[in-house]
Structure 1
Amino acid sequence: MKVTVIRPGELGEPELARWRELQIASPSLDNPFLSVEFTLALGRLRPYVRVAVIEDQGKVVGYLPFERHAFGIGKPLGSWLTTCHGLIAAPDLDVPARHLLRACGLSVFDFDHMVAGQRTWSPHESAVRPVPLMDLTAGYDAYIEYVRANSPKNYKTIRYKERKLAREHGVVHLEYGATDPAAMRLLTGWKSDQYRRTGRVDRFAQPWIVELLEEMHAADSPAFAGVLTMLYAGDTPVAGHFGLRTHNTLVGWFPAYDPEFARYSPGIMHHLHMAEQAASHGLGQVDMGKGGREYKGWLKNGTIHVSEGRVARPSATAAVHWMGRTPVNKARSIVVDRPSLYRLADRVLKGFGRVRTSLHPAVEKEPSGAR
């Protein structure tokens, strides 16, 4: 096999068409973060993005979008910003991972949201995690009946809160595919506030991420689009979400809500309305992303799997990287696998966020609004 490494912008029309052909032929690749449109967008914004083009007997058989950082450190495309990585190829393609790393000029490659079971990466998987889905293939009515039957108390509670929200603030309704840039700024402002409250890094403080969302918000084709949804009570926006979709799958990315309405659980309410609209627009599933949020457990009616792991070629860089990363990864796995530890870690981060906000109450009130 021949492997050629290029920048995304160097892909020609035949290569773009082949990428889309390979993706749509494999259900496991039905994720917008694996779409060539997402790779092209990141390639325009980040100088370290590359694509490995894999050929066999003169025919392109696969693509690997990745990031090549200093000292041969490789990361999946989008790294911590995205929720799915993978080799865009037929399921039976078997390219040894170390051979691929050598061709890409990489010493080490860490992954934590890889499509599980791909032949290239499966020998190097250290853990496989479930990703909860809202499966809408039988229609929204069938989905909601499943939720009602399997989580009757939770479902009854959220519908009670919705009626209460409607009585007190106006009819609850969802705008699907909102195009107003002001709605996007409102959503990212909520999300920035959430990051600070919970002690996490504000992703929207980085201008390139804001620019990426703007570009994705404008994308709209049958096979790939950005989807902004906003939940209203009367004329008041209370929750929203921005994600990406393929022809069949909407992937959760940036959900947020106005904390003044937190007592109504608007985020969960929004998910139910979003699923209804997704089904009405012909989508078959909503991917909620792996993670320990309890609400995902009762909203889901299906799962897929992603894997974590590490590939390294013998080198001083790989050894130093292992010493720096492996203890952190092991600690994270221990926390994720134990709900009580996850909740404790979440409380600690929120406490840190409250302290940081109290010390700097006027700093960057809404950084995402500064375009």
Structure 2
Amino acid sequence: MVTRSVLKFGGSSVSDFTKIKNIAEMLKSRVSQDEQLIVVVSAMGNTTDQLMTNVSTLTKAPKQQELALLLTTGEQQTVSYLSMILNDIGVNAKAMTGYQAGIKTIGHHLKSKIAQINPQTFEHAFQDHDILVIAGFQGINEHQELTTLGRGGSDTTAVALAVSNQIPCEIYTDVEGVYATDPRLLPKAKRLDNVSYEEMMEMSALGAGVLETRSVELAKNYNIPIYLGKTLSNVKGTWIMSNEEILEKKAVTGVALDKHMMHVTISYPLPDNKLLTQLFTELEEGSVNVDMISQIVNLEGLQLSFTIKDSDYQQISMILENLQKQFDALAYKINEHYVKISLIGSGMRDMSGVASQAFLTLIENNIPFYQTTTSEISISYVIDNFNGQLAVEKLYDAFNI
């Protein structure tokens, strides 16, 4: 009986032709074991960054439609190369762009969302091919314009294809699964055999950097398990699955450090709801994701603090500059010298004392924090960037992770 799976390979896994050829040989071996595969690939190495560099030499303000069109070419090169190699070694393979695969998108040209995928496209293609190589990170909108899916778009493509075809999803990268914390910061960090969807979503949102939140959330919504492993490695990776399938739950599963964030503070001498309404409307329209919101409104005015991704620096600067022109007394500060450290664990739901132990650990090690926030399964602190690694080490040991 023929089985099917979705496999995804990131940019570092396909960064040169030798790596692509090795992947092709592995795929050939799996086809010989009665498998048909949907293979999603990213652009080779730093191709996307190079395209952006090229654009910056030409214009400071490219139209988003044209920029999206350009960025899709990176993945299109990879699917063509891999498909050519597969056919050359005797595997019936077909390369497809996002729009050829029927990936319909909606929203922002550079941060679009997948609206629909027709599984019949793949049923038809599998009649004559054993491997379908799909360009990740892209689709086509209702105006027949090419769009890109933003950060982590190829992961989202892979999971969406697994959902639409109701088959498992395997994501391969340059790390051996999910670790309790970044092994580059803490070499003794343990690799996890499995984590829940909720824990992985928190880790991703809070800076773990392995998978983007949206791809894990999509898998959770349709109960599609994700295997995360290292490309062409025999080392066991990590399964991301339903919390109910994990027998033993710890209070704290991991520690995440997000270095790619900025801390924004805003003050205004009046408790003005109009200002807040306009601010959050413009943040939404600009696709700026806001996290760790803290707000105080009283007779002395309002104070607002929140964190954003550092990639949104230009967007938030423009929004705040425009607001300041309308609200003269508005003062704001964008601090780029903070990091966010977070404790994550589904066991927090049923175990007390995590917040107090984390607080004491930071205080005992002279690590001040400037803002804190909690969810059902996480606690996050904004701290000075020079204390980031120390905080990881001390919290990891304090909770015996």
The structure with the largest helix share of the pair is 1
TM-score range, shorter chain: under 0.3
Larger Cα-atom Rg:
2
TM-score normalized by the length of structure 2 = 0.24
TM-score normalized by the length of structure 1 = 0.25
